[in-house]
């Protein structure tokens, strides 16, 4: 059984309100799907970017979520703005997904992030 089926069962079990909801709680798995739909054509599958013109998301600073949210929502130079296309929960999920690929500390253990950024 795939994860989508499991998620559907979970949503059904949680009741009609949850089953209707288009916005499941942010998760790396949801982020992977959204990333693959909206971002991978420029930023590459699994964040592996193929050309120099696109930002390499494996190098995005783990401690600058505010910049991520700003750039993704409003766009940055050649990057389109995603506000209104990608839902805020999906952007949140994409952030978690990028963190999971990059091996960032899980949310809630952010206090360690200052010591991991040796720049």
Residue whose token pair is 């942010």 = 26
- Which residues partner with 79 through β-bridges? 76
Least spacing, CB of residue 110 vs ligand HEC, in Å: 18
Least spacing, CB of residue 119 vs ligand HEC, in Å: 15
Site size toward ligand HEC, by CB under 6 A: 21
Contact 102, 95 (CB under 8 A): no
Provide the H-helix boundaries in 78-118: 88-102, 113-116
Stretch that binds ligand HEC, among 5-13, 19-27, 65-73, 105-113 (CB under 6 A): 65-73
Least spacing, CB of residue 54 vs ligand HEC, in Å: 5
């Amino acid at each position: 059984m795939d994860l989508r089926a499991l998620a559907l069962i979970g949503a059904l079990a949680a009741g009609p309100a949850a089953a209707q909801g288009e916005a499941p709680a942010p998760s790396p798995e949801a982020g992977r799907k959204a990333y693959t739909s909206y971002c991978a054509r420029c930023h590459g599958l699994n964040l592996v970017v193929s050309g120099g013109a696109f930002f390499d998301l494996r190098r995005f600073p783990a401690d600058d979520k505010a910049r991520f949210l700003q750039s993704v929502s409003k766009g940055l130079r050649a990057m389109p703005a995603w506000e209104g296309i990608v839902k805020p929960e999906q952007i949140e999920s994409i952030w978690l997904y990028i963190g999971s690929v990059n091996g960032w500390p899980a949310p809630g253990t952010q206090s360690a992030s200052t010591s991991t950024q040796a720049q």
